[in-house]
Copies of this chain bind each other. A is one copy, B any other.
Amino acid sequence: MKLVLGTMERITSRSNERIKSFLKLSSSSKERREQNLYAIEGARLCFDALISGEEIKEFYYTLHAEEKFKKQVDSLREKASASFVITEDVASKMSSTPSPQGLFCVARHRQNSLAFESKLCYIALDGIQDPSNLGAMARTAEALGIGGLILYNCCDIFNQKSLRASMGAFFRLPVIMTDDLPLLLRNRAIEGVLTVAAVPDRDSEDFSSLDFSQGAITVIGNEGNGVSQPVIEACMKKASIPMKGRAESLNAAAAGAIVMWEMMK
């Protein structure tokens, strides 16, 4: 360890340029887009990024983290383009959690771009604004075996909350962003794919009655306003989850879970 430490740059100042740059990536989606990089923290997420094939450009760790997460630190240090030892004080500056684990990475996303395959089921998200909802739906999609996510007017997947809630699903799940979801849906419909807007209307079709076996795209809408009108109009069907209770609707992540479950059964 001493040998490695000897070759390792140490960062002791909270105002170090690299730390400032990390914080910008961590907090600004514009910065992430422009640099095509993102910032992550925590033993689990950093290691998950590494083993999912993400490109680790910078790796920051405290000596305490090295002791506690030896295996993860060794692997990350070996694969990262550059590694830095940081003090606890610097770690607390970098962290967006109350009790930082002392591991941070700057990474570049390996493109796992979505190529539509016939008979697979996909989820399109229309205007999801809560990063935790976005991450939770990615986690559910991966767990249930959804073919990929199509994002339209959503918040950034590389937001810290979103990445945390996704449990790393964004590193692996095929994802595309589109700026014309209605067009994409119409094109897929021509190919014989069922396109469905998930709506809370009690007079629409019941999700359980649909046949998803020839491939499908289901659109889940914004937390407050649901699927936008042009997207609903571009879909072949509207379907809902029948509700017995008083709550106007399920939250987006719960509705998403039920919809994905029905599609994949």
Q: A residues near B, CB below 8 A? A: 132, 136, 139-146, 165, 167-169, 172, 208, 241, 243-251, 253-258, 261, 264-265
Contact = CB atoms under 8 A, between A and B. Distances in A.
29 contacts: A132-B132, A136-B254, A139-B247, A139-B254, A140-B254, A142-B245, A142-B247, A143-B244, A143-B245, A143-B246, A143-B249, A143-B254, A144-B244, A144-B245, A144-B250, A145-B243, A145-B245, A146-B245, A167-B247, A167-B248, A169-B245, A169-B247, A244-B264, A250-B257, A253-B257, A254-B254, A255-B257, A257-B258, A261-B261
A246 B171 CA distance: 11
B244 A145 contact: yes
A241 B260 CA distance: 12
Contacts of A243: 143-145
B251 A254 contact: no
A211 B247 CA distance: 26
A172 B246 contact: yes
A255 B143 CA distance: 10
A253 B246 CA distance: 19
Contacts of A141: 245
A188 to B, nearest CB: 22
Contacts of A144: 243-245, 250
Most buried by B among A139, A146, A254, A258: A254
A170 B32 CA distance: 40
B253 A136 contact: yes
